[in-house]
Amino acid sequence: MRETQTIPLAQVQRQLQLCRQLRALLPGEEGRRTAFVDTYGCQQNEADSERLRGYLQEMGFSFVQEAEGADLVLLNTCAIRDHAEQRVYGNVGALSHTKRRHQEQLIVLCGCMARQDHVAQRLRTSFPYVDLVFGPQLLWKFPELLWEKLNSGKRVFATQDVPGTVAEGIPQVRGSQVKAWVSILYGCNNFCTYCVVPYVRGRERSRLPQDIIAEVQALAQAGYREITLLGQNVNSYGKDLNLGIDFAWLLQQLDQIPGDFILRFMTSHPKDASPRLFDTMAACEKLAPALHLPFQSGSSRVLQAMNRGYSREDYLEKIQQLRARIPEVVLTSDVIVGFPGETQEEFEETLSLIQAVQFDALFTFIFSPRKGTKAAALPDPMPKEQKSANFQTLLQHQNAISAQRHQRYVGKEWTCLVDGQGKDGRLTARTRGGRLIHLQGDPALIGSWQRAYIHDASTWALFGTIAE
């Protein structure tokens, strides 16, 4: 479905009213009602879970860290690879036990998996204790769907294909007081041939600039230090609004908001990442010197089969353009190994691309066929073992590159945002470029910008102390 549905504010307010009415129907005592929210997948889903928690809080829930004993369990699922789905099925299976011990427990499954017909079918037949299932477009309606479930006593499946929605005014319970996610557009129009996202998240639709600006202003005033703008392809921001604005324009507006915060964004699509974006990144003070730019494959033939809309040469040229403007930029990327029909020579082109670019970090995936996508129907002759071997080779090459890239931090001081504390008691921090630092220091520093002296580095992280 192509249309976008803007949900009127009155509709969202009605949901909030329903939240208060639901308090009389929900399991658990008022004041002691607990929910466990389990989130899978990308930052979009994390951001969605913050809104689901917002609604749940209005219903009187507080949050716990495990399903056992919780009055409501909500799984916000991801469909990007088979592995993600199998984990969800495993965890839904285990809920039959928590529910047996707590008959009143409500089990809700939402997110990207819920928009797939075969998943809905399997939940209907194999998991009879799942009470409510709804896709990402209907998140705004969660209270109403729960209301329907509790009043009818029947399971509710709201998994149909509906137009992509944009809803403002949903309350949020944010996971951090230092870092915040801000969705700027939803859905995707790119139909990369391996990817399920356009099917489960619908077409691209942008939030209005004034809504985004107001949200960032409020976060800055509340003292947030890192704000990450989210979208499957942030470079498409504004195209559907017909206001003559684009992503670079939005960045310029947000850069002018007063506050001691840094701005990040993800994800950028190489076909739309332009010199105009790179110029804006270089010019805007608050923008992190970092870009996550997934290349997916080093072979132009494979890129075409993936419907990515750029060649190997185009990609390398963009990297050059970016580095010419921001030499110290931290570059990260995603890559898929074993796309159907990828030859050994083509895999080697991926290896040579990562050598040529020298990414700071790389997220590597083995191709996973997704029902309904074009690539799932392509002949895929390369044996699994070969794909795994290639995957390992790629990891080894990248690990060496990452370790070497990290060496440039050692023996110097870097500005960083202290954002938390690890299990081992050390602080965690991020450089402006986004590299992780394990830091010796006082937990009172969490939420502040500091100078860190880096004395050591590994493939994954830097090690430092607060500089005098």
Could you list the residues that contact ligand SF4 (CB under 6 A)?
188, 190-192, 195, 197-198, 232-233, 269
Q: Which does 78 bind (CB under 5 to 8 A by kind): ligand SAH, ligand SF4, ligand F3S, none?
A: ligand F3S
Among 45, 232, 299, 350, binds ligand SAH (CB under 6 A): 232
CA angle 87, 92, 95 (to 5 degrees): 130
Which residue, among 97, 99, 92, 133, has the nearest Cα to 114 in the 3D structure?
A: 133
Q: Which does 198 bind (CB under 5 to 8 A by kind): ligand SAH, ligand SF4, ligand F3S, none?
A: ligand SF4
Choices 219-227, 363-371, 394-402, 427-435 (CB under 6 A): range interacting with ligand SAH = 363-371
Q: How crowded is the C-beta side of 160, counted as CA atoms within 13 Å? A: 4
Closest distance to ligand SAH from the beta carbon of 369 (Å): 7
* Closer residue to ligand F3S, CB minimum distance, 45 or 450: 45
Rounded distance between C-alpha atoms, residue 279 and residue 254, angstroms? 15
Among 111, 164, 294, 434, binds ligand SAH (CB under 6 A): 294
Closest distance to ligand SF4 from the beta carbon of 271 (Å): 9
Q: How far is CA 164 from CA 2, 5, 133, 231, 450, in A?
A: 8, 6, 17, 14, 42
Which residue, among 269, 270, 265, has the nearest Cα to 281 in the 3D structure?
A: 265
* Closer residue to ligand SAH, CB minimum distance, 193 or 402: 193
Which residue, among 191, 447, 419, has the nearest Cα to 305 in the 3D structure?
A: 191
Among 240, 334, 413, 456, binds ligand SAH (CB under 6 A): 334
* Closer residue to ligand SF4, CB minimum distance, 45 or 98: 45
Q: Which does 79 bind (CB under 5 to 8 A by kind): ligand F3S, ligand SAH, ligand SF4, none?
A: ligand F3S
* Closer residue to ligand SF4, CB minimum distance, 196 or 326: 196
Rounded distance between C-alpha atoms, residue 156 and residue 145, angstroms? 7
**Which stretch of DSSP H or E encloses residue 305?**
helix 300-305
Residue nearest to ligand SAH (CB): 334
Which residue, among 355, 289, 363, has the nearest Cα to 316 in the 3D structure?
A: 355
* Closer residue to ligand SF4, CB minimum distance, 133 or 197: 197
Closest distance to ligand SAH from the beta carbon of 185 (Å): 11
Is 202 a residue that touches ligand SAH (CB under 6 A)?
A: no
* Closer residue to ligand SF4, CB minimum distance, 159 or 233: 233
* Closer residue to ligand SF4, CB minimum distance, 269 or 432: 269
Phi then psi for residue 323, to 5 deg, are -65, -25
Written as six digits, the tokens of 183 are: 């969705």
Beta-carbon neighbour count of residue 386 at 10 Å? 15
Cα 376–chain centre separation: 23
* Closer residue to ligand F3S, CB minimum distance, 41 or 289: 41
Sorted by sequence, the CB contacts under 8 Å of residue 115 that are 6+ apart come out as: 79, 135, 136, 137, 159, 161, 199, 200, 201
Rounded distance between C-alpha atoms, residue 178 and residue 223, angstroms? 7
- Please give the residue ranges that form the binding site for ligand F3S (CB under 6 A): 41-42, 44-45, 78-80, 111-112, 196-197, 200-201
Give the footprint of ligand SAH on this chain (CB under 6 A): 80-81, 194-195, 232-233, 267, 269, 294, 296, 334, 336, 365, 367-368, 370
